[in-house]
Chain A
């Protein structure tokens, strides 16, 4: 055999030839600014609505208490954890494209930028915005929510210290050890997100030991895709086109993340198949939440958004040699894996343990049906704009800090 199939061809650091990841003739920087502006302006109307009218324009109620914002929250923290775990692992293991401190700082900024909108979404979901600090002042560690919140807190501090140390060549002996700890936390909190639901015995659909694993795998998959997308967009929107060495690094990083994403998608669907097939194998078994996922009013979220756009299509594109396809896949996975969260979150709540409860006292907030409202979608757009803002600001801080903190820059 003269040449191995492209799927199994070993990756080469110097391989910088081939089609571009994005069409070079398009003004990517302007396009990104436009996307940001649209998200910001449209999203602001939703945020204003939330602050002036409270929860009234939202679609969730007491029987389905969590909606789109909680889905966004878990997706955001999952991507943050996944991106950081991969970026730090790549740095520690010396993967091509991952080894330099500049990339590590970018990974930290990306993780924080994915977390901020997640925190924003969950904050707006609270009944008392002014009491969010209670979770830090009076935590109850039997609650996975408090445990999770403290884990983010610890992670952010350690990641911040790692970011600082990455500028300090004299103190590098602490960087890798601390990075190991941060990597551990970044793996723990997406898994805990699964445990967050798994520990709720009241919901049969959630009460599964597989859920933490599924959340971790989807976090690594979506986080890897986000990392890949960020690198492609940074290169495409740079003032100066990256030099050959920089290009080689990007190519190496994207190549590695491409396979991580492929393995992640396949792994996630294997886990999902295991979960679903066990529940549905017995023809007499009644699994109402699963039936909702597969054939309920939001069947298209599973079949179209999750399976087709978040799974089959990215897999096909990533397996090809078409690099623009890899970019599209990264975007699709980063966006559509939100459906993996929503497919756990909503159907789990939409089934009553007591038959007839919905009819017992009729009210629009006492229904086992949930439809996200325009306000919820608009706040979601604002969260995206917030994440983009945080990433741009973070990158600028990276550059500024380089001048101030890195003694090598003063030479």
Chain B
């Protein structure tokens, strides 16, 4: 190599510095971070659900979960540990949870937070159907978080992984990192694309032609406690989207929509830090399993098969 000694020394210093800086940068963001969400007593909520409904011993699980929810919300956010337990023996595959979620979050075509997978086992005629609702697993070690290049997704103190739609650049790296396929991208489509539009007057009445989509599809949803309108292709169009356990509903003392709409009471939700909660009881007493446990993500959605 035709380098002088001083050139070689400079090269060694520069390359060494380059390696050190690169390594330092790689390690920098691996340190534990301060929570991005507010914590402490200010996050506690004084909710009074079902004040007019007297409590009974054998009340509907939905009523019990609502009372437990109020109890959990009275604690600061960092003391809550949201968990979902899905009893597959009770799930009838009605997809009410899927549709409830679509309407609650105003999900466009191609975006789904809670599909229900149909599993068929055995051979005809000895076959058996089983249903597997698949919300976001709210993993304790979510693989979608570290891959985000812009810190647009993180895990809240209560364990729910959320997305900042204003920060997300729509690179879809998190979609590939989720082994459960729980993240979907909003490509800006509408269910009512090309729908017939009525004409108030004129010779073509009653149909004026096809509308790009119906206006109601642009009405804002309330995900993550903020009003998101899809008007003029604003976020969440172009973003990665995912189930967030209906955090906006929890703040108002309402259970996640998929829990409220479950006709078989197959989906239970609550605070695992509350020893008297239904979900704690189910996880402790029943034989539960988690999806793709070998991936080491430690999901907070448990299944009873």
Contact = CB atoms under 8 A, between A and B. Distances in A.
Interface of A: 54-56, 61-63, 65-66, 92-94, 125-128, 131-132, 134-135, 138-147, 149-151, 173-174, 176-178, 180-181, 184-185, 188, 199-203, 349, 352-357, 359-361, 363-366
Contact of B187 (A54, A174, A199, A361): A54
A40 B263 CA distance: 57
Interface stretch (B77-85, B142-150, B214-222, B243-251): B142-150
Given A126-B169, A127-B239, A177-B7, A62 B28 contact: no
B229 to A, nearest CB: 16
Interface string B134-145: 100000000100
Given A65-B175, A93-B1, A353-B180, A138 B18 contact: no
Interface string B81-112: 00000000000000000100000000001111
| Complex A-B, nearest 8 residue pairs according to Cβ-Cβ distance, in ascending order | A127-B170, A127-B238, A365-B110, A177-B10, A360-B115, A202-B179, A65-B172, A361-B115
B112 A361 contact: yes
Contacts of A185: 18
Query: Chain B interface mostly helix, strand, loop or mixed?
Result: loop
Nearest to A135: B149
Contacts of A355: 117, 119
A200 B177 contact: yes
A134 B169 contact: yes
Given A126-B169, A356-B118, A135 B150 contact: yes
Interface in B171-210: 171-173, 175-181, 183-189
A357 B98 CA distance: 13
A63 B189 CA distance: 16
Contacts of A184: 15, 18-19
B48 interface: no
Given A62-B185, A132-B169, A181-B15, A353 B134 contact: no
B14 interface: yes
Interface of B: 1-4, 6-8, 10-11, 13-15, 18-19, 22, 25-26, 28-30, 98, 109-112, 115-119, 132, 134, 143, 146-152, 167-173, 175-181, 183-189, 233, 235, 237-240, 291-292, 295-296
Contact of A135 (B169, B175, B180, B189): B169
17 contacts: A54-B187, A55-B238, A62-B111, A62-B175, A65-B172, A92-B1, A125-B171, A126-B171, A127-B171, A131-B167, A134-B152, A143-B148, A143-B149, A174-B10, A185-B18, A202-B295, A366-B110
Contact of A66 (B109, B111, B176): B176
Contacts of B118: 356, 359-360
Contact of A360 (B4, B116, B143, B233): B116
Contacts, number: 200
A169 to B, nearest CB: 14
Nearest to A62: B184
A129 to B, nearest CB: 9
A126 B150 contact: no
Contacts of A181: 11, 14-15, 18
Given A94-B2, A201-B143, A364-B110, A128 B184 contact: no
Given A181-B11, A356-B119, A357-B115, A61 B185 contact: yes
A138 B167 contact: yes
Nearest to A148: B149
Contacts of B111: 62
A354 B10 contact: no
A355 B183 CA distance: 16
Contacts of B187: 54-56, 61, 127, 365
Contacts of B240: 127
A173 B8 CA distance: 10
Given A142-B29, A185-B18, A357 B181 contact: yes
B146 A140 contact: yes
B230 to A, nearest CB: 12
Contacts of A132: 169
B147 to A, nearest CB: 5
B139 to A, nearest CB: 11
Nearest to B146: A142
Nearest to A364: B110
A202 B240 CA distance: 17
B185 A65 contact: yes
Given A173-B6, A177-B11, A353 B110 contact: no
Nearest to A180: B11
B146 A201 contact: no
B173 A366 contact: no
B134 A354 contact: yes
Given A62-B175, A131-B169, A359-B118, A141 B26 contact: yes
A200 B10 CA distance: 37
Contacts of A125: 171-172
Contacts of B185: 61-62, 65, 127, 365
A138 B112 CA distance: 28
Contacts of A61: 110, 185, 187
A184 B184 CA distance: 37
A256 B90 CA distance: 69
A134 B150 contact: yes
Give the most central of A93, A199, A361: most B CB within 10 Å. Answer: A361
Nearest to A199: B147
Given A55-B187, A202-B178, A176 B11 contact: yes
Contacts of B183: 62
Nearest to A131: B169
Nearest to B21: A154
A65 B26 contact: no
A352 B181 contact: yes
Contacts of B11: 176-177, 180-181
B99 to A, nearest CB: 10
Nearest to B185: A62
A247 to B, nearest CB: 23
A369 to B, nearest CB: 14
Give the most central of A143, A144, A149, A150: most B CB within 10 Å. Answer: A143
Give the most central of B2, B148, B170, B292: most A CB within 10 Å. Answer: B170
Nearest to B24: A141
